[in-house]
A and B are shown apart, each in its own frame.
Chain A
Amino acid sequence: MTRRLAPLERTSAVVNLERRLFLRRGLSLGALTLLTGCDVTNKDAVYQTLLAMSRWNDRVQAWLFNPNRLAPTYPESALSRPFRFNAFYEADKAPVIDGDSWRLELSGLIDSKQPWTLRQLNALPQETQITKHICIEGWSVIGKYTGVPLRSFLQRIGADTTARYVGLKCADGYYSSLDMPTALHPQTQLTVRFDDETLPTRYGYPVRVRVPTKLGFKSPKHIVALYVTNDDPGGFWEARGYNWFSGL
């Protein structure tokens, strides 16, 4: 594996064990084996080939990505109400965070690494977008997001915008990362309000990242840390096989 796992909430031993089990038995090629009666002897090789293709798809998508191309926007009448909740846990398990003590930790290739408070973040100029959230599962919902463009935040904290990645860690153990061109896209947002109200717990209070040019799982909620790096930080679902770039 060339992709590194971020040393995060889950211990690396557990992740490694899961990874090994997934490699060994995950690609049993059930249908293929059943239908043809042949035995796929090297399942790891099949999985490695698929992962290599996924990394190739990362490169193709980075090449296809036009930094000035905007995701379609919609009128208020198109808003999805109620807006679908989605996470790797049920809605009532979403982390309850105290906005007053919350801090956004900054690290990596950033000039000013002082943690940000919610009050500071709310004081920055904000923008509103009505865009479509598209899930890898196939469903989509249209939401109204208000927040600070990530681009202006990165510039304000003196982030090295020539670096390759922006990594994100969440209060619920989730993590993900963006390529720098997407982080600098005009619609990529540090969202603090949803549907004209304070961002509700179920949608990522106090801050989520909203990336309308990527699949929904690339818009992590409950952000607690942001870092700029040249080492691929990976992601929660990315470590489980979802394509890393997942651009729309």
Chain B
Amino acid sequence: MTASSTSSAPRIRVNPLVARLCHWVNALAIFIMVGSGWRIYNSDPIVPGLIPYFNHHYTLGGDFELSFKLHGEPGLAGATLWHFAGMWLLVINFLVYVAYGLVSGRFRRKLLPLRPREILRDFVAALSFRLPHEVGVYNAVQRLLYVGVLGLITFAILSGLAIWKPVQLKELTWLLGGFQSARVIHFLCMVGVVLFVIVHLALVALVPRTLATMVTGNAHVHPLTTGSRP
């Protein structure tokens, strides 16, 4: 990092290497899965009234027009290739991250507790821009968001498995209400993850130094941002 006005401030390790690696691999995996998933959605829209299709320029799976010209299919083949390759990246990385989070105690330290009263308090404070960013500590709303997105990805993976293997894993598919119901759940998980990404990126834009922290792992402990809460 280049020297900055805060370089003299003490630095603490906020995000260990495993967490940072998992974060960025997950970001890539989500990009691949959502991008190719949108293309797959276009083959048979789940809510045609609301989302008739995703603009193919923002989907992943190769040249839409060329594929249509040559094969009479709108690039579904390329999208499924991406989706079924990306799923390995998503699932393996997610398992590593969850195992690490549980074994190291990071989840317990950083994501708990989840108390409705604190969430409400911090949510109101955040809306009125009175919620300070505390280095290395997640406020209750952040904790809820991070636990929530972990749950969404878990259900995205489970519903994805139910769609991928409705015979070999038919009990799972049945639990999710059948094949078409599992598709809807898979779609809703995507919506939730995308909404999370939007909020996540908006918060990063508000507090840009968190981006550097997720790259280097270190954060400068600034007097104004040092919280007293555990």
Interface residues of A (CB under 8 A from B): 18, 21-22, 25-32, 34, 49-51, 53-54, 57, 64-66, 69-72, 88, 132, 134-140, 212-213, 237, 240-243, 247-248
Residues of A within 8 A of B56 (CB): 30
The smallest C-beta distance from A243 to any residue of chain B, in angstroms, reads 6
B40-A138 in contact (CB<8A)? yes
Chain B interface size band reads 35 or more
Q: Which of A28, A70, A212 is B62 in contact with, Cβ under 8 Å?
A: A28
Apart from A49-B85, A72-B174, what are 5 other A-B pairs with CB-CB below 8 Å? A25-B63, A26-B67, A64-B168, A72-B167, A247-B167
Residues of B within 8 A of A135 (CB): 44
Known: A22-B70, A137-B76. A54 touches B168 (CB 8 A): no
Give the complex CA separation of A132 and B166 in angstroms.
Answer: 10
A54-B84 in contact (CB<8A)? yes
Residues of B within 8 A of A138 (CB): 40-41, 43-44, 46, 183
B66-A240 in contact (CB<8A)? no
Give the complex CA separation of A71 and B76 in angstroms.
Answer: 25
B84-A139 in contact (CB<8A)? no
Q: Which of A53, A65, A71, A132 is B88 in contact with, Cβ under 8 Å?
A: A53
A69-B58 in contact (CB<8A)? no
Known: A31-B59, A51-B81, A64-B168. A21 touches B66 (CB 8 A): yes
A241-B166 in contact (CB<8A)? no
Known: A26-B66, A31-B60. A64 touches B80 (CB 8 A): no
B179-A53 in contact (CB<8A)? no
Residues of A within 8 A of B40 (CB): 137-138
Is there a chain A Cβ closer than 8 Å to B160's Cβ? no
Give the complex CA separation of A22 and B64 in angstroms.
Answer: 11
A21-B60 in contact (CB<8A)? no
Residues of B within 8 A of A139 (CB): 44
For this complex, 24 residue pairs linking A to B, each with C-beta atoms less than 8 Å apart, are A25-B63, A26-B62, A26-B66, A28-B62, A29-B60, A30-B56, A30-B57, A30-B64, A31-B59, A49-B85, A64-B165, A70-B167, A72-B167, A72-B170, A72-B174, A88-B73, A138-B40, A138-B41, A140-B180, A213-B167, A241-B78, A243-B80, A243-B84, A247-B167
B167-A69 in contact (CB<8A)? yes
Residues of A within 8 A of B43 (CB): 136-138
Residues of B within 8 A of A65 (CB): 168
Known: A22-B66, A30-B57. A88 touches B72 (CB 8 A): yes
Q: Which of B78-102 contact A (CB under 8 A)?
A: 78, 80-82, 84-85, 88
